[in-house]
Structure 1
Amino acid sequence: MLRLLTIEFHKLKHNRASKVLSLIYFGLLTSIALIAAIKFDIGPIKFHLADMGIFNFPYIWHFNTYMASILKFFLLLVIVSMMANEYSYKTLKQNLIDGLSKKEFILSKFYTVVVFSLISTLFVFVVSLILGLMYSDYNELSIITTNLEYLIAFFIKLVGFFSMGLFFGILVKRSAFAVGAMVVWLIGESMFKGYLFWTFRSAENTSESVNSIMQFLPIEALSNLIKEPFSRLGAVKSIANQVGENFTKSYDVDFSTILIVCAWTFIFIYSSYRLLKKRDL
């Protein structure tokens, strides 16, 4: 494993675009801290985002992992360009000539995906912990360690998403087309979801019927890992109650969703291997 990772990071070290994108990604993760600086006064109205409780433990684990997951597209570009460069610079063929098996080649890419995801998760953990200790109203250890499952969900979400990008990178061989293929997949899932809503429009619980099917599709499963955190805020709930709305949704990390994403991760990595094995290089 260490040998395969050494090979991959040696390639990335000499790829300027990958280094720039990685720096932008981790820089943007750090910029989550700037949300605390959003503060303005409009007459008697004083608005300070940090005072709304977004950095309170344990809510911060949910909020920061959700916000950080939006930025994953920057690292996706690194993953797909990493695969596209193998074809452009003929390094894939050279690696195989030098004795690297196709299975080892795919594993080296997957290990890189896992390492990137792990580093991202640790980074979000450190940033969230610092922000929480600075701004949270609750600093008891038992509260701080509550909801840490969002970090696990974040890690699994990144591994699944990047594995999907790796598959499309091998499938189409060009980074731009690989990202485009993922966008087309996303549009396809959205259209299928719309079709299901139309099909079940007369059902008693339309949303539940649609979600029971959509939860098994990859992009939907990835999005279900960490649900939006905004309606969980006390201030938002208070406003909703005043206008007669009541949020009853569950924000928990669902174990069945984790299993679905892990299954899709295996499918994408195994499909990448089978595609590479059959392809004439």
Structure 2
Amino acid sequence: MKRLLHIECIKLWNNRSSRVLIISYFVLLTSIALIAAIKFDIGPIQFHLAEQGIFNFPYIWHFNTFVAAIFKLFLAIVIVSMMSNEYTNKTIKQNLIDGLSKKEFIASKFLTVLVFAGISTLFVFVVSLILGGIYSDYTELSIVFSDMEFLLAFFVKLVGFFSFCLFLGILVKRSAFALGFLIIWSILEQVIFGVLGWKFVSWETAKTIKSFLPLESMANLIKEPFTRLNAVQSVANQIGEKLDLNYQVHWYEFLLVAAWTALFLYGSLALLKKRDL
């Protein structure tokens, strides 16, 4: 396992584009802290985003994991490029000639996915802990370490998304086409939802069906956190709206993303075994 991961680290670090994207990704994760500096005036009202409670424990775990997940496309580019380079540079063929089995090859890529997701989760944890320590109104340990399931959801979401990217990289072989397919698939999920709700079933049933699709199931792991803010709730109450939404992460959502992850890995291995390299 260590040997497989070492091989992948060498490949990635020796590729300048991958190195730049990985560093940029973690710089962007750190930039979440810059949100605290956002201040502007609306007439006599001074608005400071950090004072709106976005860095309060335990809300910060929800907010930061949701925002950090937006940057995952940077590592998605790294992963599809990683597979594209294997075909372009014929390193995949050389690895197999040198004794690496196809199963070990996929395992090495999945280990890379796990490492990316693990380090990202640890990074968000540390940044959130620091920001919460500075800005949170609540510092009791029981509050600080509640709602930690959002970090687990973030990890599972990244693993599922990166596994999908890995599958597309093997399926399409070219990074630009793989990323294009990813965009097309995200649009297709919305089209499926629209067509089902418009022509075949109720909108509620269409929404349920949509929740089983890969990208939507990953998105559902961490719902949008903005309507949880007290300021948003207060405005909603003033205009007669009641925002009573369920923001929690459910066990079946974990299972669904885990099932898609396993399917993508199986599909990646099946494609590799079928092809004459």
TM bucket (normalised to shorter chain) is over 0.9
Q: Is the 8 A contact 1:58 1:147 kept in 2?
A: yes
In the TM superposition, 1:20-35 aligns within 5 A as 20-35=20-35
Q: Is the 8 A contact 1:169 1:178 kept in 2?
A: yes
In the TM superposition, 1:47-66 aligns within 5 A as 47-66=47-66
SS at match of 2:41: strand
Q: 2:264 aligns with which of 243, 268, 275?
A: 268
Where does residue 246 of structure 1 map in the other structure?
Answer: 242
Q: 1:232 aligns with which of 218, 228, 247?
A: 228
- Structure 1 segments (4+ residues) deviating >6 Å: none
Residue type of the alignment partner of 1:152:
L
Give the distance between the partners of 1:40 and 1:244, measured in 2 at CA: 27
Q: Is the 8 A contact 1:121 1:155 kept in 2?
A: yes
SS at match of 2:40: strand
In the TM superposition, 1:166-185 aligns within 5 A as 166-185=166-185
Where does residue 10 of structure 1 map in the other structure?
Answer: 10
SS at match of 1:40: strand
Residue type of the alignment partner of 2:235:
I
Q: CA deviation at 1:200?
A: 5.9
Give the distance between the partners of 1:257 and 1:19, measured in 2 at CA: 33
Gaps of 5+ in 2: none
In the TM superposition, 1:122-137 aligns within 5 A as 122-137=122-137
Residue type of the alignment partner of 1:279:
R
Q: CA deviation at 1:79?
A: 0.5
Give the distance between the partners of 2:61 and 2:91, measured in 1 at CA: 40
Where does residue 211 of structure 1 map in the other structure?
Answer: 207
Give the distance between the partners of 2:43 and 2:239, measured in 1 at CA: 25
Where does residue 97 of structure 2 map in the other structure?
Answer: 97
SS at match of 1:235: helix
Residues paired across the two proteins, number? 277
1:222 and 2:218 matched: yes
Residue type of the alignment partner of 1:73:
L
Residue type of the alignment partner of 1:269:
L
In the TM superposition, 1:61-210 aligns within 5 A as 61-199=61-199, 203=202, 206-207=203-204, 209-210=205-206
Where does residue 258 of structure 1 map in the other structure?
Answer: 254
Q: CA deviation at 1:40?
A: 1.9
SS at match of 1:225: coil
| TM-score, with structure 1 as normaliser | 0.97
Gaps of 5+ in 1: none
> Kindly tell me: are residues 211 and 42 of structure 1, through their superposed partners in 2, closer, same or farther at Cα, counting changes over 3 Å?
closer
Give the distance between the partners of 1:41 and 1:210, measured in 2 at CA: 42
Give the distance between the partners of 1:210 and 1:242, measured in 2 at CA: 32
Q: CA deviation at 1:105?
A: 0.1
Residue type of the alignment partner of 1:253:
V
Give the distance between the partners of 1:29 and 1:110, measured in 2 at CA: 22
Q: Is the 8 A contact 1:113 1:162 kept in 2?
A: yes
Q: Is the 8 A contact 1:215 1:257 kept in 2?
A: no
Q: CA deviation at 1:41?
A: 2.4
